[in-house]
Structure 1
Amino acid sequence: MDRPLVCVGALVSDGVGRVLLARTTKWRGLWGVPGGKVEWGETLEDAVAREFREETGLILTDIRYAQTQQAVLSPEFHKPSHMLLFDFFARADQTEITPNEEIAEWAWVTLAEAAAYPLNTYTRTLVKLAQQEDG
């Protein structure tokens, strides 16, 4: 029987007012944040740190829980999927990205600039939450 996938992602700040957005191969051309599936025996925080290391080469610090969302058969995702999305805020001291094959494009932008990007709906709510915390 299929079960929901537990996934993590993070809106990562560079410490000088910018956040990292990425366009991946999995969201039909929409922009979002790097992340992925939680592995057996891994905490959510460890999973988000690992995913960022694998996908971008970034080492995350100050990882803190932001929100949980459900993506149930989202037409934005490249295939039928039921995901529980655990979102985090985090910081990276470096901004040099070493992308893996999942990252098509990336940009360091302000939160205001991020809101103008063609974001997937799940990242849009995360950016809005960050703007509320920032304001």
Structure 2
Amino acid sequence: MTHLSRTLPIKRAAHVYIVQDGTLLLVAERMDDGSIFYGLPGGKAGAGESLADAAVRQVKVETGLIVTDLNFVSLLEGEMLTGTKNECYANFGRFTANFRGELNPTDPEVVGTQWVPFADVQSLVRYGPPPEVEERNPLIWVPTRDFLRGEARAYYPI
């Protein structure tokens, strides 16, 4: 049997748990299929950009808030979306941070922000199609579920 080597693109992203009075800040984004997706503020890191720098930049664009004093919470890592056009090796960091400023998203995909009580976060998460979108993969939400329970681990292999 011949084993062919393959190279997967690496997708690096960072998100921030922004917490205030028992609530978590989520952003509402319009997906390509027109549906609304609730997610953590943050996003993809650019070439040569650290996960922490990506988190600061993306939170500013998606929420208008300035985050400082980032603290590492967890890393989710492994192959995702195998067999789809978006298969990749994921390297997703999660942080907590101090924040200041007013909620004022400038990202055109963000249709709103919402402070959500910890107990209600999971009910806003939508899993399912389209399968090539990693945000709809339940594994992506395991670190957040654990964080909200006060049980975050540092490393989550996919």
Q: TM-score, normalized by length of structure 1?
A: 0.75
Stretch deviating more after TM superposition (41-50 or 120-129): 120-129
Inter-partner Cα distance in structure 1 for 2:110 and 2:98: 19
Higher RCO by CA contacts (8 Å cutoff, separation 6 or greater): 1
1:46 is paired with a residue of what secondary structure? Answer: helix
Q: TM-score, normalized by length of structure 2?
A: 0.66
Unaligned runs of 5+ residues in structure 1 are none
1:73 to 81, 84, 96: 81
Larger Rg: 2
Contact 1:32 1:123 in 2 (8 A): no
Inter-partner Cα distance in structure 1 for 2:125 and 2:69: 27
Match of 1:22 in 2: 27
Match of 1:87 in 2: 94
Alpha-carbon RMSD across the aligned residues, in angstroms, is 2.9
Contact 1:111 1:127 in 2 (8 A): no
Confirm whether residue 9 of structure 1 aligns to residue 19 of structure 2.
no
Number of residue equivalences: 130
2:59 to 49, 52, 68: 52
Contact 2:122 2:145 in 1 (8 A): yes
- Runs of 4+ displaced beyond 6 Å: none
Q: Percent identity?
A: 23
